[in-house]
Amino acid sequence: MQGYFPKEESIYTRCEDNVRDVMRVIANRYIGDNPAYPFVLRAFSKDGFKQLKDGRYDLNLDDKYPEAQLGKAASLFAMLWSDDECETIISISFRSPTSLYVNGKLQCRSSIEEERYQNKCKHIKLLLVKGWNSFLIKTRKSPTGFGCVIGSTSGKWSPMHFMSPFTERYGQGGWIYSALTDAQPDVETITADVSLAEADTGLQWYPALDWDEGEKEKAVFSRIFSDYSGQTAYGWTRLFIPSERCDCSVEGETFGPVEIWIDQQKVFSAGEAGLVRFQVTLSYGAHDVLVESQKGSEMWGFQLQAMEKDHQIPFKTPCIVRGSQDQWMYLGPFDAPLQLQPVEITNGYRLFKNNGNGVYWCLDKPGFRVRPYLENRLYAKWHYHLGVTLYGLLRTGKLLDREDILCYALSHAAECVGIYDYSLYDRDEYGFQSINHQLVEMDALDDCGSFGAAVIALYQETDFKKLLPIIEIIADYIHNRQIRTEDGAFRRGDETMWADDLYMGTPFLAKYYQLTGKQEYIDDAANQFLLFKKYLFIPEHRVMSHVYDFRHGTPTFVPWGRGNGWVLFSLSEVLELLPQDHHQRTQLLEFYRELCEGYLKLQGQNGLWHQVLTDPESYEETSCTAMFTYAFAKGVRHGWMSDVQPYINAVSRAWEGIGTVSVDIHGNVYGVCRGSNFSYNPLYYKYDLLPIKNDTHGIGIILLAGDEPVKMTVWLKNR
């Protein structure tokens, strides 16, 4: 096979056998490519369109125009950002005669059958340009309905978050819709140019961006919370002082009892409605201003301005909220004042509670809320392959004594866990959450076990107690709610068993046993291997089939490389934590040795294993090579083999192969198979599941594959 890069650009040419240097370069490259950016806050109107449980947007104009006459037309419009030019597939269902234009070009038009059978999903392949892509829908009211449903074919794994168009709304989340018309606008006037103004279209668009004149006359909380009961609400803004020292005068009016804090210090208090006037000396920089407002007899709210001598000091929004120029963010309503310190309230990512219900920040626009979105490629995302990535970074940070790497891995997990409560609220409030898709929709081992095992390892290293609630939720799911066969083996909802799921479940169970001492969890982990062996073991090669299909009562008999890698990697993790006197330990050690013997014989001439293990014509695959390397080295170190020399040699050959074939001088990782489906045909694995550069199915496991040989070498020298 031709290499992914010239041999002179392999990391082996620079580092040779210095495993620590290779790990350092890979970890540095990964962290540098995935900075720790926070969630993006955007304005979002609850008067827009909700999403369905599958993540698609329910663009039902019957809800907006219940009295619309037959034949009336309307347009729906949104923008979708793409980091690169790429192909994607969208799903669309029709309620009425509808046409979809993407970047000004007609992509599909509803057929009469699709309009009649509204539950039928049509899949459309689209080529997205790099940057903004415009999605314009033209639809007419018919007896069957008005509008359509559109979005990703897999909201859980590949969600699509559409943004509002036009300069007036730039940065806001969600679709917008036009006023009713008798004729549709020319599609050429609506393009992917984000500088287009609403007025240029000749149409009125909704949700409305401003209050009507009657509402503008009301105090701020009277108009924002007019439909809600409650007695207390909060306003949060920021003052920026450009000079070294400022004697600031704050003036205004309150329509009920009020408390005001600046930089966590109370500066004003009033028990009734009236004027607000006080002075405060502030130094250079930003200063948080928090106002607690109690409902008055008629009006509810306040208004303030800050002055220095004869000129006004403008307030500034305390957080960057895309799609909003507002100076204030608002929180409420609550039945009573929050029993929290001001520093605990001035948090743009915290969900608050009132009588058990979620309360989050909103804006002084009709129906507009603040909503966080996860828009990083990898950082702070919750995916199973990122679980092994964080585990690899953790082990690398410890090996290299790099506190920065440890902090990065912990912060990634902490962001996921810290936003979990909000994610549940977001899902319930808007139909489908804007973050934490797999964690919130936990219904498979992929959603929790891998990342959960990394979270336990991070907790054991850092004692960061905010990780514990998620660990308990995952333990309950895997042990008590995961779908299983009658004999207790993990299986999937489509009546299949995947070798991958030994990794998705058993390392977490073993680590949870180590954390809590609960014997039933390590018993469950141990038993899974013997059950999976019964269904998936291929004795003539001493390897595992990728999948068992219960619908046909047969394994697929395809020994996919990474699927087998997951098995041996996970078995080595469980054996390391399994009590020496465990009643199944002997059986598991025998299984481990059988697999190791099978894999040892299939190692390729360059030290790597192949995508289809028994097919030397299939490409050399990096992630399974790394997992076999890890498990062999761990087995040598723990004395699980009677003859260790062949495995020491295999580890050395594999690591040199990874450094020569799979990693370049910049720390880029090649030869990692993309995420898979399954097939009975080995050609699917050989020709369809092609390798991807810097795929996270391989980065973390290469770091782990470096850590274990280092430990093995130390053990061999010292024994």
Mean pLDDT of the 416-434 span? 96
CB 699 within 8 A of CB 25: no
Rounded-to-integer distance, Cα 545 and Cα 532, Å: 10
50-182 and 214-373: same fold?
A: yes
Dihedral through CA 254, CA 259, CA 262, CA 263, nearest 10?
-150
Is pLDDT at 300 greater than 90 in this prediction?
yes
Q: In CATH, what number does 214-373 get?
A: 2.60.120
pTM given for the model: 0.94
Q: In CATH, what number does 7-34+378-718 get?
A: 1.50.10.10
More confident residue, 298 or 606: 606
What does the pLDDT look like over 671-701, one tens digit per residue? Answer: 999 999 999 999 999 999 999 999 999 999 9
User: Using alpha carbons only, how large is the chain's radius of gyration in Å?
Assistant: 29
What does the pLDDT look like over 518-533, one tens digit per residue? Answer: 999 999 999 999 999 9
| Complete edge-to-edge strand list for the sheet that includes strand 98-102 | 105-109, 98-102, 131-140, 73-82, 176-178, 205-206
Q: What one-letter code names the amino acid at 257? A: P
What does the pLDDT look like over 644-673, one tens digit per residue? Answer: 999 999 999 999 999 999 999 999 999 999
pLDDT band (50, 70, 90) for residue 187 = low
What does the pLDDT look like over 614-627, one tens digit per residue? Answer: 999 999 999 999 99
pLDDT band (50, 70, 90) for residue 516 = very high
The residues near 397 (Cβ < 8 Å, ≥ 6 apart) are 27, 403, 404, 405, 406, 408, 409
Q: Domain coordinates of the chain in residue numbers?
A: 7-34+378-718, 50-182, 214-373
Q: What percentage of the chain carries pLDDT values higher than 90?
A: 92
Average pLDDT, the chain: 95
CB 689 within 8 A of CB 382: no
Is pLDDT at 190 greater than 90 in this prediction?
no
The pLDDT assigned to 189 comes to 56
The pLDDT assigned to 1 comes to 43
Q: What is the DSSP letter of 380?
A: T
What does the pLDDT look like over 493-507, one tens digit per residue? Answer: 999 999 999 999 999
What does the pLDDT look like over 208-227, one tens digit per residue? Answer: 999 999 999 999 999 999 87
Is pLDDT at 196 greater than 90 in this prediction?
no
Identify the CATH class of 50-182.
mainly beta
The pLDDT assigned to 561 comes to 98
